[in-house]
Amino acid sequence: MCAASPLFAFSKLNIGVGTYSYHTISVDAMIVQLKLLRIREIEMSRGEFMLLSNPKEELFRTTREKLDRAGIRCWSYYSATMHNDQDIDRAVRFARILGCSNITGDAPAPVLRRIDEMLTQAGLTFGLHNHFFPHIKFAYESPEEVWNAISGLSKTMGATADTGQFAQCGYNPAKAILKLAPRLRMVHLKDVRAKGNEENVLLGTGVAHIPQVMRELRRMKFTGLVAVEYEKEGNDDADMVKQIAYARSLA
């Protein structure tokens, strides 16, 4: 694969990858692609690592060794939903094995306070993730719902803003970024076909206002991870080359 020149341009924003983008290939094959794209930081969001898959510690240890050899840092761990102290404890343990400083996920409102307490003690931060689910009202769809859930908690508790999912729910992702700026931990940079439509499209070709999102992130001098996500079945390497090149051209 021949990488286009924008892949190597200096980026003011930290462009990385949400590894769910590579969930249909092996970890080893994913690392090959990440190295070709010169990706240095990721969020581990592959399904087999999420709490709901009941992963074993060995998976995290062997993957950490592979990432270290490749010079790739796991900046954040995507746990998915946490329901109780046991889930939080497992998420902290897995994040530490991977070398992460942040955990992304969601939880019922009463559990968020326990996440605050336990992650503060562990020295990690948390990013509450917004979601779109067809025909189901999720607790954290709007930027206001995310903000209201975390604003009364300590600064350990922040937001992971998914631009595609905000757009799917009918919210302007650039305005969401502005709303969440004081507690923004990281961004899942994703574009979608239309409101209410789960189809992912190449960045800049859908309704997620990606150029405006990137302008807002540059304006606020955002230092967290901007993780490109492309949740498309049958995703090919050429698509990810385009995605990363486009994100870096706006960074």
- pLDDT tens for each residue of 27-69: 999 999 999 999 999 999 999 999 999 999 999 999 999 999 9
For residue 223, being part of any structural domain is answered with yes
In the structure encoding, which two tokens stand for residue 39, read together?
């990706």
CATH code of the domain in which 60 resides: 3.20.20.150
Counts for the chain of helices (H) and strands (E), in that order = 9, 10
Residue 4, pLDDT score: 42
DSSP H or E segment with residue 29:
helix 27-36
For residue 241, being part of any structural domain is answered with yes
d(CA 150, CA 121): 17
For residue 41, being part of any structural domain is answered with yes
Ranges of the chain with pLDDT below 70: 1-11, 234-236
- Considering the entire predicted model, what is its pTM? 0.94
- Across the chain, where does the E strand assignment appear? 14-18, 41-44, 73-81, 102-106, 125-129, 157-162, 184-189, 191-192, 200-201, 225-228
Q: In which residue are the tokens 């923004």 written?
A: 184
| Number of domains the chain contains | 1
For residue 2, being part of any structural domain is answered with no
Give residue 239's domain range.
14-249
For residue 213, being part of any structural domain is answered with yes
Residue 232, pLDDT score: 81
For residue 5, being part of any structural domain is answered with no
For residue 8, being part of any structural domain is answered with no
